[in-house]
Structure formats: structure tokens, C-alpha cells
């Protein structure tokens, strides 16, 4: 059962990474097309800025969820790293619990907020699309982050100090997680 949970969590993280790559590619294409059309043909895309901002916001929140999975969120762990190993594990578990409970509360309130009629009725003047589609990325990202923290709470792996200050690629992080 725990292996299935871990595999499901890993598959979700891979889907997040794939979505991030697609969104960044789309952002690059939209902004490149906008520059070419605006400066070479004097005919900009009227929707490019709004869509680009929404894609960037989506990348930010989905990226936060992926960083929650990889345990690479920015944190100050000086005190944790200097505790005895058994206390590190308890403190790390407690911090994950606090994070999970906070995200669960955010999930509840964000879901309640996005279901309100005034939010559902909000229409973008540029694209003509309902804005709750854009807002839903925030809500989904909260649920994804909460899921990743719940899996960490259930699996309760030992805390490993982050001594390296260098950035690891996602494949290096994945390899270290599997070992």
C-alpha cells in the first residue's frame, strides 16, 4: 500500500513537471509571437499580456507544488541540522503536519471562495473567458501541495540535512529519492 502511495505521488509530480514544461514552452511562444507581431508587423496580440501573466502565475503555483514534492522549498534549517537525528525527524514531521494543516485550511477557504457566484460571474475583459478558470489553478495547487505533504506524513522518511548549496536537477533529486 505504501509503495502504491509513493508511486502515485511520484506520478503526480511527473505530471506537474510535464505541465510546467508545457506552460513554459507556451509562455515562450506567446511572448516571442507578441514581440515579432508587435515590432515587425505593428499588429500585437491583444490577449498576450493577460494570458502570459496567467501562465506565469500557473507556473509559480504548480512549481511550488513540485518543490514541495522534492523538498526543495526555501527554508532555514540551521537549527534542525544541529539537532540529534531522532529530534530532527520528529521536528520535520511536525513541520510537515503544520504545513499540511495550513494547506488543508487554505484548500477549504480557496474552494469556498472560488464557488461563490460573484467569482464565477467575473469575466476577463480581454479574453472574454471566466476568470475562475485562472483562479482554479491556485486552488488545485493548494490541493497538490497538501497531497504531497500528506504522503510525506504517512511515509515518514528520515530527515536528511541539506548540506549542498548547489542546485540539483530534477533527475538527480528523483534518483536520490529512489535510493
The DSSP call for residue 73 is S
pLDDT at 171 over 70: no
* β-strand partners of 173: none
CA dihedral 163, 166, 169, 171 (to 10 degrees): -30
Cβ neighbours, 10 Å, residue 72: 14
Listed residue (87, 13, 122) closest to 5, CA to CA = 13
Within 8 A by CB and 6+ apart from 142, the residues are: 103, 106, 107, 110
Sketch the domain layout of the chain as residue ranges.
2-156
Cα gap 172→178, rounded to integer Å: 10
pLDDT digits (tens, 9 = 90+) for 89-148: 888 899 999 999 999 999 999 999 999 999 888 998 888 888 888 899 999 999 999 999
Amino acid at each position: 500500500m505504501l509503495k502504491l502511495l509513493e508511486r502515485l505521488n511520484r506520478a503526480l509530480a511527473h505530471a506537474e513537471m510535464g505541465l510546467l514544461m508545457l506552460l513554459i514552452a507556451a509562455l515562450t511562444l506567446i511572448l516571442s509571437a507578441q514581440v515579432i507581431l508587435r515590432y515587425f508587423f505593428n499588429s500585437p496580440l491583444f490577449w498576450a499580456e493577460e494570458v502570459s501573466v496567467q501562465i506565469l502565475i500557473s507556473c509559480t503555483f504548480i512549481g511550488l507544488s513540485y518543490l514541495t514534492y522534492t523538498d526543495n522549498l526555501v527554508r532555514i534549517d540551521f537549527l534542525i541540522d544541529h539537532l540529534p537525528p531522532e529530534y530532527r525527524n520528529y521536528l520535520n514531521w511536525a513541520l510537515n503536519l503544520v504545513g499540511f494543516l495550513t494547506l488543508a485550511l487554505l484548500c477549504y477557504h480557496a474552494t469556498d471562495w472560488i464557488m461563490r457566484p460573484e467569482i464565477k460571474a467575473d469575466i476577463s475583459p480581454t479574453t472574454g473567458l471566466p476568470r475562475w478558470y485562472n483562479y482554479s489553478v491556485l486552488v488545485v495547487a493548494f490541493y497538490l501541495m497538501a497531497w504531497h505533504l500528506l504522503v510525506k506524513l504517512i511515509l515518514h522518511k528520515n530527515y536528511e540535512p541539506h548540506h549542498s548549496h548547489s542546485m540539483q536537477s530534477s533527475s538527480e533529486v528523483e534518483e536520490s529519492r529512489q535510493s
